[in-house]
Structure 1
Amino acid sequence: MPRLLRLLALLLPLGGAACASVPETGGSETGGPPPVILVSIDGFRPDYLDRGVTPNLNALAASGVRAVAMHPSFPSITFPNHYTLVTGLRPDRSGIVGNTMYDPAMPGMRFSLGNRAAVTDRRWWDQAEPVWVTAERHGLRSATLFWPGSEAPIHGVRPADWLPFDGAMPPDDRVDRLLSWFDRPPARRPRFATLYFNRVDHAGHEFGPDAPQTTAAAALIDQAIGRLVAGLRARHIDADIIVVSDHGMAATSMQRIVYLDRIAPAGTFRFVTGGAYAGVDAAPGVAPRATPGQAARLAAALLAHHDHMACTRRQDLPERFHYGHNPRVPAFICVADVGWMIAASAAHPPRTVGGDHGYDAMAPEMNATFLAAGPAFVPGRVIGAFDNVDVYPLVMTLLGLPPLPSDGTVAPFRPALRQ
C-alpha cells in the first residue's frame, strides 16, 4: 500500500495546474450553443469513483449528474458498445457485433481491432449512422479524438477533424490535441467532439480490476479530465461534458479457463472470438474439414451442459440479450460464468488473465459509468441505472438534432436536464 500511495502522489496533481497553455488566438466563446464533448474511459467501472483517487471526475459529477450504473449492450466489449453509444442501436442492429467478426456478404474478410484495412472500411460500419455523420450533414462541425468507427467514411462522411488511433499517445497529449481544436475561431470549433482513453482498460485486463495498478490508471485519467476541464475554462468555453465507459471489468485467472477443444470435435469449428464469451461458427464448409455430420456433433457437444459456460444457438439467445439476428453473429454464442474465460485451446490461451469483460451485460461487474455536467444539466442529480442505448438520444437532444430511429430514449435524463 505505501508503494501505491507514493505512485498516486505522483499522478494526482490537480488537472488545472497541468493544463496546457492557451494560445492567444484561442479567444472566448461568443455566445453560441455549447459544444458537446463525449468522453470514454474504456473499462472504467462506476465503483472506481469511490476509491478516493478521482477528485476531478467526482467534482464533475457533483456539478451535474451521475448515474448509479449504465448497462452496456451484449456483448459487453469495446467496439460494439462504443458504436452503440453514438448510434443508439444495439450491436445486433448496428452491425458491429464483436471486436472480431465475419460477414457472409464479404467472404474471406475478417474484421478485428488490429486490422486497419477493416477498421477503415465503411462497409463494416454502414448499417448505422453515428452522431458525427448526422452532425456534419446538418452543418455542425465534429471532431473525434479516437472513437471506433471514426476512421472510416461512414455513408461517405468523415468528421471534420479526426486522427488514426494511437494507443500509445499519452492522456495529456490527447487532451491537448482536443483543446487545440477549440483554439480556432468560433466558426471552426467543433460543436460535437469525442475523446477516448484506453489505459484503465489495459490495466484492468493485465492486473485485474482490484489491483493497485488499475487504481493508479484511474488516477492518471482523472488528472487528464482535470486538464480538460481547466483547459476549457481557460478558453471560456462552457461545454456539456458527458463521461462514459463502454463496460466494466471482472477479475479472472489462468485457473478459470474453459478450453473448447476439450469439448468440441477437432477440425469442425471456427473459433471467431473468445474470452468472457466465445463466438463459434459451425455451419458445414466454415471449417475446412467440417461435414454435416461433424457439425451436428459439434452442436450436440456445445449445447450440452458445461460447468462455468453455457452455449446457445444464436437465434435462441434470451430476448434480454437483444442479440443473435444479425448475420455477422457467429452460429453459437457461449457465455462464461463471471470470472471465467473461454479459449480455443491450451495452445492459444488468453493474452491477459488479470481481468476480462464481455459477460452478460446485466452482471454487476459489467456496469459502465455515466456522468455529465455543463449548462444543460441540473447540478447534484443522481439517476438510476439505464441502458447505454439512451446516450445517443441525449447527445442528439443537446446538439438540437433530430435523432434517427434507435433503441434508446432520453427519458432517463429528463430529471437532470434544465429543459
Structure 2
Amino acid sequence: MKQALQLLVLIFSLTVFGQNGNTDTAQVVIPGRYNSVEAQAKPYVIMISADGFRYDYAKKYHAENLLKYSNEGTQAKAMLPSYPSITFPNHWSLITGLYPAHHGLIDNYFYDYKRKEPYAKSNKKNAEDGTWYGGLPLWGLAEKQGMLSASVMWVGSASDAGGARPTYYYPYHEKFSPEEKVNKVIDWLRLPMDRRPHFISLYFPEADANGHHFGPDSKETEEAVHKIDQAVGQLVQKVKELGLKNVNFVFVSDHGMIKADNENPLEIPQLLLDKNRFDIYNSQTLLRVYVKNPDEVKKVYKELKANKTGGYKIYLDKKFPGSLHFSTKDDRYSRIGQILLFPEAPRIFLEKGEKSTAGKHGYSPKTVPEMKATFYAWGSAFKRNITINEFENVNVYPLVAHILGLKINGPVDGKLKVLKETLK
C-alpha cells in the first residue's frame, strides 16, 4: 500500500491538490468577523509567493517590475529555504516561522506512525486538515488579535491549523489566471474598513511548474517569470489607484530549481527494497528510511555505508547536519525516519520504472546555490535602496508580524533582529 502512496510525491505539475471535473472556485467567507478599531489603523501587508522562483530569476530573465520594486525597496542577495527545499514544508515555514521538523510538515508526502496515516499534498482531505500542521500561521495570528486576513491559495490556508482560518480564502484550484488572482486581492482591499483584510497571502505556481517540466533555463520558465512579473506589476498599480496608506509588499519564493541529472540516476540500495524490514520514502532528492525493527538501525546503517557507491551520502537521523534542523532532536513529530540518503546535486534517486522531470529541488540550500529563494520587500515600512545578505526564511514571520503590530505569543524559530535592518 505504501509503495502506491509514495508515488504521490513524484507528481510534479501545477496540481497541488487533487482536482476533479467539478472544481469549486467559490470564495469562502467566515461570517461574523470584523476588524477591531485598533486593527483598522494598522498597516497592510500583501505577501506574495512565487513557487520555485529561484533567487536569480528576476535578473536572469529581466523581470522588469520586480527589479524596479526591489531596487527601490529592500532586496536580499538570496533567501535560504528550510530543509528540505520542497514546496509544502517551506510555504509552511514562511507562514509560521518554524523549521519543517518543528512544524511537522517535513515533506510533500510522509507517513505518521503515531497517527498511522499518510499525508500527501495531493490529498485535499489531508491538505485541509489542520491537525497535520504545527505552529500558528500569520493569518491565524492576525485573526486572534482582531485583524482580518485573506488568502489566495497559500499552502494550508484552507485548513484550520492554529485554530483560525483566514476570514476570506479560496481552496486550491487551477482555474484562476494570475490576473484574476490579482483582482481578488483588489476586491478585498475595496471592502469597508471594518471588513477589509490587512494581511493577504497570494500564491503563484507557474515558475515551479515550468521549471520542473522544462528546466530552469528553458523558454517556458522565462515566460512564467514574465507572467508573474506582469501580475505583480498590475497588483502594485491597482493598489496604488485605491489610495490606501501604509501598504507593504513582501515577495518571496519557497525554493529554487536545478537541472536534474536524469542520465545518471542513483539506484536505491537493494537492501532497502525489503518491505518486511523497511519503509522508504523517496522524493528523489532525499531518501528517508524507516527501519521497522529499531534494534536493526545501526546494523543497517553500517551495511549501507560498507556497500555505498558514489553520488550520495548516508546519515543516521541523529547525525544529520545540525545546521539543517532535520535531525532527531528537531523531529518533534517523529516523521523523518532513522536513516537518510542524501544525493549530491544534481543526482537523484530513481526507482525502477519511474520517470523524472527536467528540473528538481529539495537539496540543501547551503551547499547547492540553485536551491536559494527570493526575497524582495517594498512599501511604507521598508527602507529604500538597500540590499541585505542571505538569511533563513523562518525570519520572514516575525518581520511581517512586527509590521502588522501583532504580538507573537508562542515559540518560533525566526528572529526579528535578523531583518530589522530592512525597516524604516
Is TM-score (shorter-chain normalized) higher than 0.5?
yes
Amino acid at match of 2:251: V
Which position in structure 1 is the counterpart of 2:5? none
- What is residue 136 of structure 2 aligned with on the other side? 129
Write the distance in 2 (CA, Å) between the matches of 1:411 and 1:61.
21
Equivalent residue, structure 2, for 1:148: 155
Residue 303 of structure 1 contacts residue 312 of structure 1 at CA under 8 Å; is this kept in 2? no
Residue 51 (structure 1) shift? 2.5
Offset at residue 91 of structure 1 (A): 0.8
Number of the residue aligned with 2:124: 116
Amino acid at match of 1:356: K
Residue aligned with 2:228, SS: helix
Aligned to 1:20: none
Distance (whole Å) between structure 1 residues aligned to residue 287 and residue 176 of structure 2: 31
Aligned positions of 1:165-314 closer than 5 A: 165-238=172-245, 239-260=247-268, 262=270, 264-267=272-275, 268-284=277-293, 298-304=300-306, 305-314=308-317
Cα separation, 1, equivalents of 2:348 and 2:193 = 49
CA shift for structure 1 position 386: 0.7
- 2:176 & 2:316 partners in 1: Cα distance? 40
Higher alpha-carbon deviation: 268-277 or 317-326:
268-277
Q: How many angstroms does 1:340 deviate by?
A: 1.0
Judge which range, 178-187 or 297-306, deviates more.
297-306
Partner letter of residue 90 of structure 1?
Y
Shift of 1:301: 4.3
Residue of structure 1 equivalent to 2:376: 371
Q: Matched residue of 2:151: which SS?
A: strand
Q: 1:342 aligns with which of 339, 349, 360?
A: 349
Residue 34 of structure 1: how far off its partner (Å): 2.2
Deviates more, 1:275-284 or 1:199-208: 275-284
The 2-side partners of 1:188 and 1:273 are apart by 45
What residue number does 1:8 align with? Answer: none
Shift in Å, 1:52 = 4.5
Distance in 1 separating the partners of 2:206 and 2:212:
10
* 1:75 matched residue in structure 2: 84
Equivalence for 1:44: 53
What's 1:22 paired with?
none
Amino acid at match of 1:315: K
The CA distance in 1 between the partners of 2:118 and 2:155, in whole Å, is: 16
Aligned partners of 1:315 and 1:324 also within 8 Å = yes
Q: Distance in 1 between matches of 2:182 and 2:304?
A: 46
Cα distance in 2 for partners of 1:237, 1:33 equals 11
Q: Does 1:399 align with 2:414?
A: no
For the 8 Å contact 1:283–1:331, the answer to whether it is kept is no
Please say if 1:321 is aligned against 2:324.
yes
Residue 264 (structure 1) shift: 3.2
* Aligned match of 2:395: 390
Aligned Cα root-mean-square deviation (Å): 1.9
How high is the TM-score relative to the length of structure 2? Answer: 0.85
Q: Aligned in 2, Cα 1:269/1:349: closer, same or farther, shift over 3 Å?
A: farther
Q: Distance in 2 between matches of 1:50 and 1:147?
A: 25
Residues 63, 168 of structure 1: alpha-carbon distance in 2 compared, 3 angstrom cutoff: same
Are the aligned partners of 2:42 and 2:405 in contact in 1 as well (CA < 8 Å)?
no
Any conservation in 1 of the 2:269–2:304 contact (CA below 8 Å)?
Answer: no
TM-score for the superposition, normalised by structure 1: 0.86
Residue segments in structure 1 that go unaligned for 5+ positions in a row? 1-29, 286-291
- The alignment of Structure 1 onto Structure 2 pairs a total of residues equal to 377
Identify which of 79, 84, 96 aligns with 2:93: 84
How many Å apart are 1:358 and its aligned residue? 0.5
How far apart in 1 are the matches of 2:304 and 2:48?
39
Aligned to 1:356: 360
Alignment match, 1:61: 70
Cα separation, 2, equivalents of 1:402 and 1:32: 16
Q: Match of 1:44, SS? A: coil
Distance in 2 (CA, whole Å) between partners of 1:166 and 1:75 is 25
1:412 counterpart SS class = helix
Q: Compute the displacement of 1:413 (Å).
A: 2.4
| Local SS of the residue matching 2:122 | coil
Name the CA distance, whole Å, in 1 between partners of 2:72 and 2:109. Answer: 39
Amino acid at match of 1:348: E
Give the superposition deviation at 1:203.
Answer: 0.8
1:21: which partner in 2? none
Residue 391 of structure 1 contacts residue 408 of structure 1 at CA under 8 Å; is this kept in 2? Answer: yes
Partner AA of 1:254 in structure 2 = N
Hey, what's the Cα distance between the residues in 2 that align with 1:247 and 1:220? 18
1:243-266 Cα offsets, whole Å, 9 max, x none, are 000111111132131121546343
**SS of the residue 1:101 aligns to:** strand
CA distance in 2, matches of 1:66, 1:213: 25
Question: Amino acid of the residue matched to residue 329 of structure 1?
Answer: I
Q: Which amino acid aligns with 2:361?
A: H
- In structure 1, the residue corresponding to 2:112 is in which secondary structure? coil
TM-aligned CA deviation for residue 78 of structure 1: 0.7
Q: Is the 8 A contact 1:269 1:298 kept in 2?
A: no
